[in-house]
Structure 1
Amino acid sequence: MSRPHDPPRGFFPFGNPFRMLSPKSSALSPWLHSLLNSFELLLAERFKKLIPKNKDDILTLSWMKLAMESLCETHNNVNTLITDLQLPVSDWEEKWVDVYLDISVKLLDLCNAFSSELTRLNQGDLYLKCVLHSLQSDSGEKYLQARSSLDCWRQHVNASNARIETCRSVLDCLAKSLSLPKVKNSAKGKVLMRAFYGVKVQTVYICSVFTAAWSDSTNDLFDLHVSEKPLWAKVFTDMQSVVNGEIRDLLSSGRRSTILKEVESVDASVEKLYPMIQDGVGIVEVETFKDYVMVLRMQAEKLSQGLDQLLEEVDSFFKMTLSGRDVLLCNLRSSDSLSGFVGEDLD
């Protein structure tokens, strides 16, 4: 559990809020080099894991879950780094506190948008359950009921989400300060600012991939040009090239439904079943029809489980960001109370 003096969870745009906390020299000691290298090598490994051996794994729900887990791990790592560097939040300048709170609001907005889309997609599972239930019935109306449910599923899964449409403007705001900062007078500040740079690159990029996946638009996919200095720079560029290339190929292929792979699999099964349901199943088609129904059931279960698991990861990131705000505000309140107490004592 967080304590009032714990550092906040999150990241700042770039500048040096620590220049009054350290000696004028900004040369990195072996200890600081070790801290920075460890952080950047871990981040490089996370980017490497997001390069799948098979391109078909990109934009599966399991890949998206891995990406969100990776993001949570990096934000946790920067918390540890802040603690190791011993840069108390109570000494940060007021303007950086305001900026932190503004950025955390934007991250919460993104999480809310992603959660709303995952919940919306998962609600479509009800239509698929109705289809499968109807097809198990002996009722003469079972095909009519199943066809109606499939029509509802198609409309539902292809509907747009207004909250996803707002994500691009939020990401644009976060990306405006996306540059490697120059810190002259604080070695610790230099380490932390470079770590923040990596956190922000990862956050903006992964959130842009999620937004593009749900908006079906390459306009929401970022091509980030990063500094060559960080140890993760090359592997990030390689990962971005592979992932963006696959997403653009998917979006240009003219798919009927979203480019999410599990949704696409369900949609393919629906396409096979729909004409059979509409025209009736002939005697020679009975076994084929049963196979299609069984495949649809398995794919629907996989989709629902994947959406639930990804929603849990997005919720974890939301809670992490919200907790960071609480820690920061609690820290500041404690600092203000201490200042007031000391002031009264001096009077």
Structure 2
Amino acid sequence: MVLLLERISKLYSKLENHHHHHAADPRQSKALSASLQAFQSDVSCCLNRLRLNSKPGSELLSLTWVRQCFGLIPVINRAFAKLVVDIDYPISKWEVASVEEYLNYSLILLELFNSISSSLAYHGQARLSLAHALSLVEDSPSSAIERLKAVEPRSVSKDLREGTEEATERICSDEEGVMREALTVMRSIGFWVCGIVLSCLCSDGKPYLEMRKWVGGLENSSFVELDSSIREIVMEKGSVLKEVKELNDAVSCLVAALVSGKYSEAAKEMEGKLEVYEKLVDGLKDEVDHLFSEVLAARNKLVDCLRHPKE
């Protein structure tokens, strides 16, 4: 994305001529095809690594895996930017519909990041509440029992905004067609990833199902296999995070131990689970905040270039 935007300021003066495309010669078509294949290969490699990091037969998704999944977005963004530079086709040359699709995608992505941040804030508050309850164990066991509550599922605060529909026809023999095919893949992965992350953080399959409707252009075997596994876990086994289940189990054990009066080991176990939970939630939050800033800055720079084209 950074490479893409760096080229805008240098090449925006060509905007008025971006409708005058010429038929590509065989060598140009071959080069375009090679660039698209390289992009698709990068996407497949990323999806395959994520698939291999999934434990076969696992019934729960972990925060560690969710963080790796979220990391697909910046990697695919960079692969898309590299493609645009390789084929020498910056946004200044794009058709209006493609520019609008790109801007719409980045806007929805920012809204999804906000929803993810809100869900992470909920988990942060839950951790603080449990940490406070844990601090009361020694001096006031009864008060600790009252405050030791499991981390409950959280619904997404509002309906997820729908993405733009995929074009029914695509021309892939020139730069515009190649770029649009890659744009569709980037957009689809962004929505798909955000849906998975939200479903895991909220313990609710709805975000994944809603975002899954807008996935297109991802017909490689790695995606099909990975998506099938995730769908099975989310829809059939539930989308409760591994760390959340373990923490809730530790809460139940500590409450039972407090009632019996022998709670030292249970308290230590829960403290360890809280530390892991805090570290993983904070790590994902940092990545979401960083990517939000990066996408927002890129979008603002693009909008500014559209408003004030250079001579």
Fold-level similarity (TM above 0.5): yes
Q: Identify which of 195, 213, 221 aligns with 1:208.
A: 195
| TM-score of the aligned structures, taking structure 2 as reference length | 0.84
Change (3 A) 1:305 1:333: same
Amino acid at match of 2:232: G
Partner in structure 2 of residue 190 of structure 1: 177
Structure 1 residue 224, shift from structure 2 partner: 5.8
What are the equivalent positions in structure 2 for 1:129-144 lying under 5 Å apart? 129-135=131-137, 137=138, 139=139, 142-144=140-142
Partner in structure 2 of residue 23 of structure 1: 22
2:66 and 2:176 map into 1 onto residues whose CA distance is 32
Partner in structure 2 of residue 325 of structure 1: 299
Q: Contact 1:39–1:77 at 8 Å: present in 2 too?
A: yes
Q: State the structure with more CA Rg.
A: 1
Partner in structure 2 of residue 14 of structure 1: none
Q: Contact 1:211–1:221 at 8 Å: present in 2 too?
A: yes
What RMSD over aligned residues (CA atoms) do the two structures have, in Å? 2.9
What are the equivalent positions in structure 2 for 1:218-257 lying under 5 Å apart? 218-222=205-209, 233-251=220-238
Q: Does 1:316 pair with 2:310? A: no
Structure 1 residue 5, shift from structure 2 partner: 5.7
Q: Does 1:166 pair with 2:159? A: yes
Gaps in structure 2 of 5+ consecutive residues: 9-16
Structure 1 residue 57, shift from structure 2 partner: 7.8
| TM-score of the aligned structures, taking structure 1 as reference length | 0.76
CA-to-aligned-CA distance 1:145-186 (integer Å, 9 cap, x gap): 2112213xx3xx3263553x422xx1xx21x523675116x5
Partner in structure 2 of residue 272 of structure 1: 253
1:311 and 1:85 map into 2 onto residues whose CA distance is 35
Partner in structure 1 of residue 244 of structure 2: 263
Q: Identify which of 134, 147, 150 aligns with 2:148.
A: 150
Change (3 A) 1:29 1:102: closer
CA-to-aligned-CA distance 1:81-140 (integer Å, 9 cap, x gap): 1122222323434454444333322111100010011011111121222232222x3x3x
Q: Contact 1:178–1:201 at 8 Å: present in 2 too?
A: no
Amino acid at match of 1:114: I
3-state SS in 2 of match to 1:50: helix
Q: Matched residues, percent identical?
A: 20
Q: Contact 1:213–1:259 at 8 Å: present in 2 too?
A: yes
1:329 and 1:300 map into 2 onto residues whose CA distance is 43
Q: Does 1:72 pair with 2:74? A: yes
Deviates more, 1:200-209 or 1:94-103: 94-103
Gaps in structure 1 of 5+ consecutive residues: 9-17, 252-257, 339-347
